Amino acid sequence: MTPQAEFALALRQPERPPPAGLRCCNGCSPEIRFAVYRNNVVASQIAALAESFPVTLQLVGADFFRGMARVYVQTHTLNSRVLAWIGRDFPDFIRQFAPASGLAYLGDVAQLEYLRICAYHAADQASLDPQSMAQALTDPQALQRLQLHLHPSTHLLRSPHAVYSLWAAHQELLDIGTVQPEHAEAVLVFRAGLEVQLVAISAAQALCIQRLLAQQSLAFAAEEACQCDAGFDLGATLRLLVHAQLIVAMVL
């Protein structure tokens, strides 16, 4: 193990002794100084997670969240130097975290919150003007092979739980008493200007957009959505994407 790896491991695991060879120039105890530093590092990461996952925190309470986040920080190697990204694996961790098993929706709510971060930090890209899109969509032959490229901030979450309703209730957009957590929901996440938007969509719309994100043709995406729901409205889905300015390119 390299000295750097040993140092990082000792920071995450308080039961480990400080790395060998530590010295203090003022004669203080290296063990005490390292313990203070370790506590500050862990505390800053927990605070960053609390900032990134505010609804998850509200759902379980501050004490439970801090305890859960501490376990995560101490058992997971950081995947980025940027604090905004350290929660990338947090939703999966929550899904496996036994003390949170009574809240089956919690991991998906955390996933939704992380997608909001991804959307906020996504690259900028200009959308197509509606006239160009209208011309392409009027050619029946082109529709069979037409691909729509969506804005880099576009993300999608399909969940067996009421993730959008739970999130919206904690923004005071819904009455929490009306939310049925076991109700499946799909959410479209994107950035409009500097503001991240969340839109609840149908399962068929979600499937269509998922196929578009995978660079499948519009015809294939629509066919898959119709198999999911015979009443799928492609026009309504396209209007949603156009209104949100999420179509950045059309490829034949």
Same domain, 87 and 143: no
| DSSP β-bridge partners for residue 247 | 150
Whether 111 maps to a domain, the answer reads: no
Strands 247-251, 147-150: pairing is: antiparallel
C-alpha gyration radius of the chain: 23
Whether 115 maps to a domain, the answer reads: no
Q: What gap in Å lies between CA 211 and CA 214, rounded to an integer?
A: 5
Question: Which residues does 11 contact at the CB level (< 8 Å), separation at least 6?
Answer: 37, 38, 41, 42
CATH number of domain containing 178: 3.90.930
What is the total count of domains within the chain? 2
**69, 103, 137: which is the final residue of a domain?**
103
Closest to 120 in 3D by CA, of 222, 213, 39, 195: 195
Same domain, 129 and 241: yes
pLDDT tens, 19-34? 777 777 776 776 767 7
| DSSP β-bridge partners for residue 89 | none
Same domain, 132 and 48: no
Question: Which residues does 61 contact at the CB level (< 8 Å), separation at least 6?
Answer: none
Same domain, 96 and 164: no
Whether 197 maps to a domain, the answer reads: yes
- pTM of the full structure: 0.88
pLDDT at 111: 98
Tell me which residue range forms the domain holding 140: 122-252
Q: Which amino acid is at 134?
A: A
Same domain, 252 and 134: yes
Q: Any idea which residue has 């308080």 for tokens?
A: 14
Whether 114 maps to a domain, the answer reads: no
Whether 108 maps to a domain, the answer reads: no
What are the average pLDDT values for consecutive 10-residue runs of the chain, which has 252 residues? 74 74 71 73 92 97 97 84 91 97 97 98 92 73 84 98 97 92 97 95 97 94 96 94 94 83
- Whether 77 and 45 have beta carbons less than 8 Å apart is answered as no
